[in-house]
Structure 1
């Protein structure tokens, strides 16, 4: 961690939220309290949705929503976003696009034009084998039948894949 060089008479400020191209408007010494009901974590949102009777997934997106939400991206996506922002701003004299604006625009356009093939690709890339096995097992318990491939796999894993071979009559004599 870097040491801060604070001179006499200067105050230290804590960043509550930093947006590009914006300055600190007021000296705030206390963090705002956020109601727990507005926090939507991965598991917390689905549990809250079930409790309130909402269906799984996101509610319908309003045309202009004033709500802001955080999104975390990895380093590779950060580099790609930075390059895209640079490309958009290069030669654009009508303003300046920041990372947040471009990310929101890209997400909305992507969601609007999402095709079945892309959905399949995303699912394949993020397949969790254990979740898939759990889903197959749940369906098997509901129907009372295992898929033949799974039955064969289980028998092979348990060492029952090869039935004892009978000797033919020609070999015995």
Structure 2
């Protein structure tokens, strides 16, 4: 099962995604994309760490997600990736268009080929006002395109708002759409 979990900041998406991957009853690997640049981000990371079970394996990778996912590709594995919008930010800050394009392409391939259980966490950033600066607009465009691409590759998509999961796509709707 592949599941994309979307939501805004502090929407409850991470806690929901963690519950979903824990329910798989397989060994879990938590792939964190965050880079800690300030104390606020460090505190957010600490909150996530204290909530996770101690037996989950942790891989911290801010850029090369496809490599990590390929290395974990097994029907016996459960993986949660947190979060795609932070990963995208990391890539955009490199200011390397070729690397950005390659990492996105490689990641979508790795998600498509993944054989275990996979929960992907991403922020839904397109619900607010149009940003004033070019980088913020680019980020919104890239995040929206990535979320749409991931949604096509997953069996389920859930939007979390105010801690409430709202299914957008389920396995049954996926089968209907393909018919």
Q: TM-score range by the shorter chain?
A: under 0.3
The structure with the larger Rg is: 1
Higher relative contact order (CA 8 A, sep 6+): 2
- Give the TM-score of the pair, scaled to structure 1: 0.20
Higher strand share: 2
